[in-house]
Structure 1
């Protein structure tokens, strides 16, 4: 019952209650993002949703305009503290996770949940093997099991298996644990960036993440 009904109700209620904070964040951070390089405030990123449906995930833009698309060796998005693609305000909102705040709108739209597997890029679906597509059985989350306990410290394939573990064990108490652990990680700013990673450039024009 929780998985099918109450989880969605809680998502909607919390997202609506938190909307005033999103407005405050946009009023303060939005102009700074724009003034730093005269680019858009938002970065709308296509992501894989429940049952493989592609949706636009909303984020505050943390990278410079026309930043190169860098990927790790496993195909996941490159993420490092000394990434030259990050703007000054972008590094701050990444560390504080404020760049994810517009995903409250994705929750209200029904594309995402507060807690769930972090959504992959659409092209990643072709890279799934074995039971890995099972992570698509639920709505992706603003935070999840991996973000709470590992952030960016484990390989992508290992993160998928943790996502499947979450799919198989969804409960109110597990979501509470993940939410609280995420809050602690965000406050401490633990493991936000990958310290060592090999990256490759992907030919993909457009604005930065």
Structure 2
């Protein structure tokens, strides 16, 4: 039932939001250039890798050694606005249609984090990742990694259709309030360095 719900509502959302998606893509092409879509390998259900799609929010500026500048130096005011309004997440509706992710579930993080999780934290991969999740509506990037993973595992143990509906409604409110977008002192969230043995 969850897969049917995901497919139906992501398709409806894709159709309804298509004008916004097209306008956002056009503005990104003008302000940031190409590529318009940011693609990155992320772990999905049971850690199986897939490519997540998001709208690009950063420039490709590099230092004298040809290395990309830090995120804070490449994130433009326009990119910050896209993140504030969560418009950068819209291409993930395509990931939902493909079955890579769900509308609701733990956020897909970086592949490099897989080996850093404790056995309990790794349980977040027992369900498909999502565009939004329990951790996102309870702090998003403003809470610690440990708290975020606890919320993810709580969702795995307590997931239900009605909980998903509640999370979707709470997500809309969070977007309008622009809460928890970044961690103090960081553009988004400090990199996870692991908590094994802590």
TM range (shorter): 0.7 to 0.9
TM-score (norm 2): 0.86
Distance apart, 1:168 and its partner CA: 0.3
Distance apart, 1:66 and its partner CA: 4.7
Are the equivalent residues in 1 in contact too, given 2:61–2:74 (CA < 8 A)? no
TM-score (norm 1): 0.82
Distance apart, 1:144 and its partner CA: 0.2
Are the equivalent residues in 1 in contact too, given 2:183–2:190 (CA < 8 A)? no
Distance apart, 1:69 and its partner CA: 7.2
- What value does the CA root-mean-square deviation take over the aligned residues? 1.9
Distance 2:130 2:87 in 1: 15
Uncovered stretches (5+) of structure 2, i.e. residues with no partner? 63-67, 192-198
Residue 114 (structure 1) aligned with residue 93 (structure 2): no
Choose from 60, 64, 77 the match for 1:65. 60
Question: For residues 107-164 of structure 1, what are the alpha-carbon distances to aligned partners after superposition, in whole Å with 9 as ceiling and x for unaligned?
Answer: 0100000000001101100101132211101000000001111111111122112111
* Greater RCO (Cα-Cα under 8 Å, separation 6 or more): 1
Describe the shift of the 1:57–1:66 C-alpha distance in structure 2 as closer, same or farther (beyond 3 A).
farther
Are the equivalent residues in 2 in contact too, given 1:22–1:102 (CA < 8 A)? no
What corresponds to 1:73 in structure 2? none
* Paired residue secondary structure (1:44): strand
Residue 54 (structure 1) aligned with residue 43 (structure 2): no
What corresponds to 1:174 in structure 2? 163
Matched residues, number: 184
Distance 2:14 2:113 in 1: 31
Uncovered stretches (5+) of structure 1, i.e. residues with no partner? 1-5, 71-77, 201-209
Runs of 4+ in 1 over 6 A off after TM superposition: none
